[in-house]
Structure 1
Amino acid sequence: MSLPDADDSDDALLDAVQRQTLRYFWEFAHKPSGLALDRSTPDPGYGPDAVAVGGSGFGLMAIVAGVERGWIPRAEAVERLRRVLAFLERADSFHGVLPHFLDGRTGRAIRFTRKDDAADLVETAFLMMGLLCCRQYFLGHDAGEIEIRQKADRLWREVEWSWHTRDGEDLLYWHWSPNNGWAMNFPIRGWNECLIAYVLAASSPTYPIPPTVYHHGWAGGPHFRNGREFYGIRLPLGPDFGSSLCFSQYSFMGLDPRGLVDRYADYWEQNVAHTRINYEHCVRNPNAYEGYGPDCWGLTASDDDYGYNQHAPDVDLGVISPTAALSAMPYAPDRSMAALRTFLGRLKRRLWTQRGLRDAFSEARGWYAPSTLAIDQGPIVVMIENHRSGLLWDLFMSCDEVRAGLARLGFASPRLGARSVANGRAQGRAHG
């Protein structure tokens, strides 16, 4: 594909960046498994066959967008998904929960850290979000599409979300291992990128959690509520300054935040405020980093020249991550387009690769990431598509189980009916 021109129309630029980024998951996927490699330059610590479970879930959603736009032939996507699902059925799982990394050749779990060698509930949630979107999209009557629906549904039903409450606590835990048990002892409390784990756990038709786990666990953490102003912008939930932009992106690749309300927040308001604070920080640029400004912004979890870090207004290392601004397209379209024109304009020769834009860069230090990451490339394709058509929001929110789970947790949404929305907004005012 030829290099895009920053003077092209908005639609032409969005087509260009979506199509190029999609190549990460379509042309450069791990060939035996069909899943997404963790990164384009494999980490020697994990080997060349490490496929990312969460990043692959994002990649499945990106492939659906590619089929819908005619960039991937539907029949070829069906064959790819059949290969992916056959691999996942054989792969290691622990009470139905998959690990952070799998060996794409053998299906065996790859140890992520010393004690993180088995079940990773959050990465599994990201994968299940992608599988459910595939289940809802491939509705054909041919054998291949029937197989996709059946196998995706079976993998979804096998996840034992309730196991991760550690014998009935009002809290979900991130990791479990047959070798180390609950030794990681990492509770999943909000506000962060993990909301989708609680929504899916409450939505499970086989191993659901009760609503108290959401209200006491996720919403009961010390960093859940905020309500203070940063750069003159009120932030309803989360740590001061909002932290990394992935908080308002990962879970909302499937969850439609438009009109999504519970007793704690209006999630469109939350995500827009989070994005605006991040943008405003980069514009004001209190650390005087080179390159920052209204057309070059976006701080999130990504690679940097020190390793991999959570970049945020209060942890600003001078590193811009293209995925941060581009995956914010639904919340700040004009500002995101300004960033895209910079990434494909004066920075194009440094950032544009066969797999999309490089993961991150620091003009202050003259550093440009040598790699692209599945967990960052996926949201670019998906969130731009949600901005353009709402496709992945439509698919995920069409799941009967998800709508039931949201209602069970006290959420309201236009997807759940007008009466539910009114009740949800009343709850929000009563508990706000």
Structure 2
Amino acid sequence: MILDSPPTHELAPDPSTLADDALLDIVQRQTVRYFWEGGHPASGLARDRLKTTGNEPNDLVAIGGSGFGIMAIIVAVERGWLDRIEALGRLHRMLDLLEASPRYHGMFPHFINGSTGDTIPFRRKDDGADLVETTFLFQGLICAREYLDRAAGEEQRFRGRVDALLAQAEWGWFQRKGKLYWHWSPKHQWAMNTPIEGWNECLLAFVLAAGSQHHAIDPDCYHNGFAAGPGFHNSREHHGIVLPLGMDFGGPLFFAHYSFCGLDPRGLKDRHADYWEQNVRHARINHRHCVLNPHGHHGYGPDCWGLTASHGPTGYVAHAPDRDVGVITPSAALSSFPYMPAQAMSALRGFLARPRKRIWGRFGFVDAFCENQNWYARTYLAINQGPIVAMIENHRTGLLWKLFMGAPEVRLGMARLGFIESMPKGLMHVRAQADCPAVPQRASGDLRGRAWS
């Protein structure tokens, strides 16, 4: 259970009276509920989406969303909101279903049935392996493996189970024609024909693929595939800000979040980019677009910004400055705390000044809203809720960055791909514009990576 929890919907009558850290506690804690209380009753894995009121029968489990949920659970344990033993039991229960689920050359599909583990097709031909969703699941499992570091018992068994899943992932099998491919289906083979190329949310897939002990990809697959694809390099100015990589205006903000819940971008560089600069500039362009508000959307401003993929009045859309229909997604700004803490806090306080019962509920902020149409989502989405918890924690303590960056497969993958880490003095603290308290020490020891066995 979540320990000493306040009533689900309660905030101070006037949240503006609360200190920043108190607000961050409330937002993280409430959002973790999506994965703990809203987890699938049989497996504990993350449902793809949940409604603001009640849980209807829903077996649709998101593999990537479950990875973000695992990271959220680790944060809750570290902060004392969840009991460590209860959380470990939940994680073992997740692995029970994952180990029994169909995998495709070691890779999971986008969706599975949370009761049976059966594959649920994402699209007609997308009914097999999804490398990117599997990457986000592995990101969460690696963080949990590094956190649960006690030398014997159930934590040791958990680490062994995670290692076995990682070892079975045949990354190299998905390399063809010098590129890494996103999907494979036992029925349709390579019919999806989607090479992972051009700047997007997929950097982490290459790090884990290169760091595999038994099934590693050729580093050229990254440099001559992903980084040589259309839309990778940009170097053009958008709203007065030069963007190193990606599509014009940066695209949806999840590009700066999903891979970087675990990958620490501070000082992270390779021959193609400085990834801290890339993500900060992406966030600044997104923020500036909403402040300038060239389309005149209602509500936009310094206290209401953030465009990324989410639900909207017409369905699920990858919202971005060049695809701006007036829908604000709270996850976009809140997951950008490491990059723009002052602007993200302004957004957090601005969101809470809006109609409380329409924007805030049992699992935190709703997925999105559009003031043009007086529309507020009645749903939450796993892949948007999870990064809120993870990236706020990275801003506050760097917990998940420290765990993930110490993992052996991550260190090996970055070395093979030619990454270097050069932390400028101004980024030695997690917060870019303020001091940050040290990462709390756990009873079991310091955060660290483990050597190859």
> Which of the five TM-score ranges fits, normalised by the shorter chain?
over 0.9
Match of 1:172 among 170, 180, 183: 180
Other structure's SS at 2:180 match: coil
Other structure's SS at 2:379 match: coil
| Counterpart Cα distance in 1 of 2:224 and 2:355 | 46
The alignment status of 1:382 with 2:429, answered yes or no, reads: no
| Counterpart Cα distance in 1 of 2:198 and 2:386 | 23
Match of 1:105 among 115, 124, 142: 115
RMSD, aligned α-carbons: 1.3
| Counterpart Cα distance in 1 of 2:357 and 2:404 | 36
| Counterpart Cα distance in 2 of 1:190 and 1:125 | 17
| Counterpart Cα distance in 1 of 2:161 and 2:117 | 17
Other structure's SS at 1:226 match: strand
* 1:3-402 equivalence runs, <5 A: 3-4=11-12, 5-41=15-51, 48-166=58-176, 169-402=177-410
| Counterpart Cα distance in 2 of 1:211 and 1:173 | 14
Assess if the C-alpha contact under 8 Å between 1:99 and 1:109 holds in 2. yes
| Counterpart Cα distance in 2 of 1:87 and 1:349 | 36
Deviations 1:183-236 (A, max 9, x none): 000111120111111111011111100110000111011100000111111100
| Counterpart Cα distance in 2 of 1:103 and 1:414 | 43
Deviations 1:327-361 (A, max 9, x none): 00000000000000011223423211101110000
Deviations 1:230-254 (A, max 9, x none): 1111100000000000001100000
Deviations 1:236-288 (A, max 9, x none): 00000000000011000000000000011100000000000000000000000
The size of the alignment, in residue pairs, is 410
Residue type at the aligned position of 1:260: L
Assess if the C-alpha contact under 8 Å between 1:51 and 1:101 holds in 2. yes
Structure 1, 11-20 or 78-87: larger mean CA deviation: 78-87
| Counterpart Cα distance in 1 of 2:289 and 2:17 | 27
Residue type at the aligned position of 1:71: W
Structure 1, 328-337 or 141-150: larger mean CA deviation: 141-150
Other structure's SS at 1:227 match: strand
| Counterpart Cα distance in 2 of 1:137 and 1:289 | 44
Structure 1, 196-205 or 292-301: larger mean CA deviation: 196-205
Structure 1, 268-277 or 157-166: larger mean CA deviation: 157-166
Structure 1, 143-152 or 390-399: larger mean CA deviation: 143-152
| Counterpart Cα distance in 2 of 1:7 and 1:232 | 35
| Counterpart Cα distance in 2 of 1:123 and 1:266 | 25
Residue type at the aligned position of 2:298: E
| Counterpart Cα distance in 1 of 2:393 and 2:241 | 27
Assess if the C-alpha contact under 8 Å between 1:36 and 1:59 holds in 2. yes
| Counterpart Cα distance in 2 of 1:185 and 1:414 | 37
Residue type at the aligned position of 1:83: R
| Counterpart Cα distance in 1 of 2:342 and 2:230 | 34
Residue type at the aligned position of 2:111: F
- Kindly state the Cα deviation for residue 414 of structure 1 after the two structures are TM-superposed: 4.4
Other structure's SS at 1:236 match: strand
| Counterpart Cα distance in 1 of 2:173 and 2:113 | 24
- Structure 1 residue runs of 4+, over 4 Å off? none
Residue type at the aligned position of 1:370: R
Structure 1, 3-12 or 208-217: larger mean CA deviation: 3-12
Richer in helix (by share): 1
Residue type at the aligned position of 2:237: E
Assess if the C-alpha contact under 8 Å between 1:6 and 1:13 holds in 2. no
Residue type at the aligned position of 2:96: A
Deviations 1:377-407 (A, max 9, x none): 0000000000000000000000122111101
- Kindly state the Cα deviation for residue 78 of structure 1 after the two structures are TM-superposed: 0.7
- Kindly state the Cα deviation for residue 87 of structure 1 after the two structures are TM-superposed: 1.2
In structure 2, the CA distance between the partners of 1:347 and 1:333, relative to structure 1 (3 Å rule), is: farther
Residue type at the aligned position of 1:125: T
Deviations 1:57-109 (A, max 9, x none): 00000100000000000010011011111111111111100000000111110
Percent identity over paired residues: 58
Deviations 1:142-192 (A, max 9, x none): 4211111001111111111111113xx211111101000000001111201
When normalised by structure 1's length, the TM-score is: 0.93
Residue type at the aligned position of 1:39: R
Where do 5+ consecutive residues of structure 2 fail to align? 1-6, 424-453
* 1:398-413 equivalence runs, <5 A: 398-413=406-421
| Counterpart Cα distance in 2 of 1:113 and 1:280 | 35
